[in-house]
Amino acid sequence: MTDIASPAPKRERSSLLTNPRTRSLLIQGVLFVAVAVALWFFISNGRANLAARNIATGFGFLEQSSGFDISQSLIRYDDTATYGRVFFVGLLNTLLVSGIGIVFATIIGFAVGIARLSKNWLLSKLAEVYVEVIRNLPLLFQILFWYLGVLAAMPAARQSLSLFGLAYVNNRGVVLARPIFGEGSDIVGLALLAGIILAAAMRWWAHRRQMQTGQPFPVIKTALALIFGLPLLAFAATGAPISIEWPELRGFNFSGGIRVLPEFVALLIALSTYTASFIAEIVRAGIMAVSRGQTEAAESLGLRPGPILRLVVVPQALRVIIPPLTSQYLNLTKNSSLGVAIGYPDFFAVFAGTTLNQTGQAIEIIAMTMAVYLTISLITSALMNIYNRRMALVER
Amino acid sequence: MTRMWKVAIAAAALTFPALPASAAGTLDQVKSKGFIQCGVSQGIIGYSAPNDKGEWSGFDVDYCRALAAAIFNDPNKVKFTPLSTKDRFTALQSGEVDILSRNTTWTLDRDTKLGLNFVGTTYYDGQGFMVKKSMKINSALELSGASVCTQTGTTTELNLADYFRNNKMKYEVVAFATVDETIKAYESGRCDVLTTDASQLYSTRLKLASPDDHVILPEIISKEPLGPVVRHGDDQWFDIAKWTFFAMLDAEELGVSSKNVEEMKKSTNPEIRRLLGVEGSLGEGLGLTNDWIVRIVSKVGNYGEVFDRNLGAGSKLKIDRGYNRLWTKGGIQYAPPVR
Ligand SMILES: N[C@@H](CCC(=O)N[C@@H](CS)C(=O)NCC(=O)O)C(=O)O
């Protein structure tokens, strides 16, 4: 790209075809037309074939009521709701299990990856066994293991295991105590928000002060006081507006409280532990890619192992870790569709499965399904790319 | 994901131009490839399941064998494709199978919007509930609050929602894609109740570790007329499919069975003579030979024989024929006459 300054070397009769710029434009143009023609070909054929077979087409089905129930839904849903709503119920269920799964997988993965490099022999062996066992067993097998082998083996509802009355575990999943927000609880919420904002501001201020004057400030203690103290004060001042609904055994199962389905729990555990075993290897590779000299230099400055890891090694390792980590996040999200095997109502199961079958509109539904997974993947990659750019080495 | 690929490929197949072969009738295609591709369930004892010799057998399977007997004079010229409830219609629409014979309920929606034609009702069924005996429940109306295991993509899950809403009862549905997953979840205690068509409950019960610990509740909450299905747009194939079924009923009604069919050819009864192609040329009208019913009855049997062997007294299931008795015997099975 230096030809702005220096005039392009004069070639004999640079024809349209030999000019690299026009040539690449031409090729792209031809490709574009070919793709467009192919798309048109498939769409028009699809329409003709469906019409010839009297199969309903179009997206009108999204407004029809579904007639079936779904076991877990984050938004209001019953069998009189539309297929359009089924789409969102499924999508949210997929995002829920993938989102929480990604958080858990990252935490476990980092812990195991670092443990594997530990000087403690037992710890590093345990981490190695974890990685080798989990990584080498098929995920579907692990999902079924957690579902049929562990959760289904829990006692029946009437003999539920109780965790201090706060939660009950039985073969129908987990029941948690549910907080009930009465009048005035929004003030408590606002107080919590204020606490978080104040804590962040305080941290920023303390950092600047330390930079300028060298004086440290008890950041963590103050932050905890702000984040917990403010809402507690508000709670007392507004007359304890938040109460707790305790789960109660009635009829077939518990009523009251929050129910977490065993399908969700099994899928979440399997997805996060499985993905964590890959993340652990990525983290290990990333840390090993940071040259030994960095650690030695930090040691010679008198830093202790904890801060060395946190301040010197991990930030540099992250640059190696983030790109493959992104693929793991994408894998986890796509793997969540294996939940069909245990009846978890994720997007794939309720939309590409049940809805497709009840309406028979395979082409529309498969196209929408591909679009959804593609969009989720592209958004995840985009976010990770932004993060990667921020972490990238700033060259001076 | 493999399931997704199956459906995706079937869906994609619909976006290709109709091949010259599929422009020809299904009968010609079937004849030129030498066998019928028949979609069945993934394993319901009595309807379609591999037997101890590894051959597909059952009530739904025998219907396809009857069709093969009528066309090829050989009940073994069929290949079976096991299909889940979820994949079955796409497989038929895209031409992966020539006929679907898989305990499928005839509904208006399926008959019209899915571009399908229902051949008839080979089995009158209705939806029921199965629970563990130890729960001491005697009626479906005591099921409020229960967890119910069922299969997705069925009329079953729709009826279930209707029934519980109508009776103002709460419930939790856990829906699986295959029978085996559904049964496992029920057995493991994940659900209190298993629901599907009553006949399949009897057959499912046989698959459980201790069948006697489970009871089927008396309520039948829906009408489930089950029958084979073909694609829209090929009337000849639709006719062959329909009349193969009717012929089996008419044979039973006239007392023609696999044991006596050869003697019956000598009968003087004009109805029997027409049925067996001794008189007239009715088979040719269908694009088959005139002895097509002789082939069906001698190779596979009449409706009563097929029922008895797979589902009735001659089988492990011992299901009472109930509504599926001939109209002359107090049931509602009634076929138009062969004439
Ligand atoms: N008749 C109902 C439901 C029939 C049905 O498919 N039942 C399940 C539950 S037993 C089944 O056949 N499963 C066997 C399989 O998936 O192979 C329908 O057509 O929707």
Residues in CB range of B311: below 8 A, 6 or more apart: B46, B47, B59, B199, B317, B319
- The total number of residues written for chain B in this structure: 339
**Cβ of A369 and B4 within 8 Å?**
yes
In sign, the C-alpha dihedral spanning A327, A333, A336, A338 is negative
The residue whose C-alpha atom lies closest to atom 13 belonging to ligand 1 is: B179
Fold matches, B19-125+224-339 and B127-222? yes
Q: Do B14 and A54 make contact, defined as CB atoms within 8 angstroms?
A: no
Nearest Cα residue to atom 16 of ligand 1 = B84
Place of tokens 């579902």: A147
Q: B311 and B226 in contact (C-beta within 8 Å)?
A: no
DSSP string, A231-272: HHHHHHHTT--EEEEPPEEETTEEESSEEE-HHHHHHHHHHH
Which of B230, B232, B338 lies closest to B288, judged by CA?
A: B338
Comparing alpha-carbon positions, the chain A residue that sits nearest to B185 is: A148
Domain ranges of chain B: 19-125+224-339, 127-222
Among protein residues, the one with the nearest Cα to ligand 1's atom 3 is B154
User: Residue A384, Cβ neighbours under 10 Å: how many?
Assistant: 17
pLDDT at A396 over 60: no
Give the C-alpha separation, B154 to B200, whole Å. 13
Residue with CA closest to ligand 1 atom 19: B104
Search chain B and give the residue with CA nearest A148. Answer: B188
User: Are A275 and A281 spatial neighbours (Cβ–Cβ below 8 Å)?
Assistant: no
Provide, rounded to the nearest whole percent, the portion of chain A with pLDDT above 70.
Answer: 94
A108 to chain B, minimum CA–CA distance in Å?
A: 26
Q: Which of B6, B38, B41 for a ligand 1 pocket mutation test, highest count of atoms within 8 Å of Cβ? A: B41
* Residues paired with A254 in a beta bridge: A249
Q: pLDDT, tens digit, for every residue of A113-156?
A: 999 998 899 999 999 999 999 999 999 999 999 999 998 888 88
Cβ A387 vs Cβ A315: under 8 Å: no
Per-residue model confidence as pLDDT tens digits over A270-299: 999 999 999 999 999 999 999 889 999 999
Model pLDDT for residues A252-261, shown as the tens digit of each residue:
777 777 889 9
What are the pLDDT digits (tens) for B140-176?
Answer: 999 988 999 999 889 999 999 999 999 999 899 999 9
Taking Cα atoms as reference points, which of A188, A160, A145, A163 lies closest to residue A254?
A160
Those residues with Cβ within 8 angstroms of residue B33's Cβ, 6 or more apart along the chain or in another chain: none
Q: State which residue of chain B sits closest to A65, comparing Cα positions.
A: B158
Rg (CA), chain A: 28
Pairwise CA distance, residues A60 & A334, whole Å = 28
Nearest residue of chain B to residue A362 (CA atoms): B11
Beta strand segments in chain B, E: 36-40, 49-50, 56-57, 78-82, 99-100, 116-118, 123-125, 127-132, 146-151, 171-176, 193-197, 214-216, 224-226, 229-231
Length of chain A: 396
Per-residue CA distances from B215 to A178, A301, B78 (Å): 36, 76, 36
- Rounded to an integer, what distance in angstroms lies between the CA atom of residue A160 and that of residue A172? 9
Of A48, A152, A369, the CB nearest to B190: A152
Report the C-alpha dihedral over residues A137, A141, A147, A150, rounded to 10 degrees: -50
Q: Beta strands of chain A (E only): which ranges? A: 161-163, 167-170, 173-176, 178-181, 242-245, 248-250, 253-255, 258-260
Which class is domain B127-222? alpha beta
> For chain B, which residues score pLDDT lower than 70?
1-23
Q: Identify all chain B residues contacting A369, using CB atoms and an 8 Å cutoff.
A: 4
The answer to whether B15 contacts A45, with C-beta atoms less than 8 Å apart, is yes
- What CATH number labels B19-125+224-339? 3.40.190.10
**pLDDT tens by residue, A55-90:** 777 888 899 999 899 989 889 998 889 999 999 999
**Whole-angstrom distance, CA of residue B60 vs CA of residue B58:** 6
A45's tokens: 């054929």
What pLDDT score does A310 carry? 85
- B chain contacts of residue A50, beta-carbon cutoff 8 Å: 14, 115
Which amino acid is residue B139, in one-letter code? Answer: S
Mutate to test the pocket of ligand 1, among B116, B148, B151 (most ligand atoms within 8 A of CB): B151
Are the Cβ atoms of A343 and B185 closer than 8 angstroms?
yes
Asked whether the predicted pLDDT for residue A7 surpasses 50, the reply is yes
B233 close contact with A: CB closer than 8 A: yes
* Residue located nearest, by CA, to atom 10 of ligand 1: B200
Question: What are B48's two structure tokens?
Answer: 């379609």
Nearest to A71 among B110, B153, B172 (CB): B172
Q: Which residue in the set B11, B162, B232 is minimally distant from A362, CB to CB?
A: B11
Mutate: best of A37, A39, A40, A49, partner B, most B CBs <10 A: A49
The pLDDT tens digits for A310-357 are 889 988 998 889 889 999 999 999 999 999 999 999 999 999 989 988
Using CA atoms, how far apart are residues A284 and B10, in angstroms rounded to an integer? 43
B211-to-A59, A215, B79, B192, B218 alpha-carbon distances in Å: 45, 76, 32, 15, 17
Write down the pLDDT at residue B21. Answer: 41
Nearest chain A CA: its distance from B80 CA (Å): 21
- Coil, strand, or helix at residue A357? helix
- Do residues A101 and A139 lie in contact, with contact meaning Cβ atoms separated by under 8 Å? no
pLDDT at A155: 86
Quote the CA–CA distance of B67 and B223 in Å, as a whole number: 26
Residue linked to tokens 């050989």? B74
Mutate one of A37, A40, A45, A55 to test the B interface: name it (highest B CB count within 10 A): A55
Instruction: Quickly tell me which residue has 């995706």 as its tokens.
Output: B8
Residue B106 in contact with residue B116, Cβ under 8 Å?
Answer: no
Token pair listed for A247: 């789960």
Please give the pLDDT value at position A171: 85
Secondary structure letter of residue A7 according to DSSP: P
> What are the tokens at B200?
């399949």
The phi and psi torsions of B15 (rounded to 5 degrees) equal -90, 0
Residue of B188, B222, B238 to mutate for A, most A C-beta atoms under 10 A: B188
Please give the distance, rounded to the nearest whole angstrom, from the Cα atom of residue A346 to the centre of ligand 1.
Answer: 21
In the structure encoding, which two tokens stand for residue A188, read together?
Answer: 């408590």
Tokens of B206: 């046989």
Residue B178 Cα: closest atom of ligand 1: 16
3-class SS of residue B57: strand
Residues A357, B153: C-beta atoms closer than 8 Å: yes
Q: Which residues of A touch B104 (CB under 8 A)?
A: none
What's this model's pTM, rounded to 2 decimal places? 0.81
Q: Which CATH architecture has domain A83-177+246-395?
A: Orthogonal Bundle (1.10)
What DSSP state is assigned to residue A56?
-
- The rounded distance, in Å, linking the Cα atoms of B103 and B82 is 12
Ligand 1 residue neighbourhood (C-beta within 6 Å): B 41-44, 84-85, 103-105, 151, 154-156, 178-179, 196-197, 200, 204, 224, 226
